[in-house]
Amino acid sequence: MLAAAPSGTVYDPDTNDVVQAELAAEAAAAADREAAVREAQRIAARPAGRADELRALRELGTLERTEPRDGDEAVRDELTRRGGGYIQADVDAWLAHALAAHLGHYRDPAARESAARLLTPPVLAHAR
């Protein structure tokens, strides 16, 4: 590029297409990394927030009218850790019904298959 430029030309990376493409690729990669970190943080925080939401719905008597979402299997574990068996039984029954009826994210066959690996055998047996 400089060889073809007139004598005395000063190199300017702002006009170099290769440099600009590399900078754009680096910026895109950094944005992707930031998005992945934000998503990981959101997922890490989700079970606690969703656990509070499901506990409140259970207390209001509306849990059975709520459709499950992706990740609720992990929320079940959080609720069990926090509240013990009396909440777990209700959540297990809710998840089993939703799984059997293909409600919420269980409409997707891949979600049902994933649930088979994440939920306990008693929940899966109740879903059949």
Question: For residue 46, what are its two tokens?
Answer: 């989700």
Q: What is the pTM of this model?
A: 0.60
Q: What is the pLDDT of residue 2?
A: 57
| CB-count burial class (<10 Å; 0-12, 13-18, 19+) for 38 | exposed
| Residue boundaries of the structural domains of the chain | 13-127
C-alpha to C-alpha distance for 36 and 32, rounded to whole angstroms: 6
pLDDT tens digits for the chain (128 residues)? 557 777 887 788 888 889 999 999 999 999 988 887 676 566 556 667 888 888 889 999 999 999 999 888 888 888 877 776 778 888 899 999 999 999 999 999 999 998 888 888 989 998 87
Cβ-contact 92, 76 below 8 angstroms: yes
Structure tokens at 54: 């499901």
Q: Are 103 and 68 in contact (CB under 8 A)?
A: yes
Task: Give the per-residue pLDDT at 40.
Answer: 54
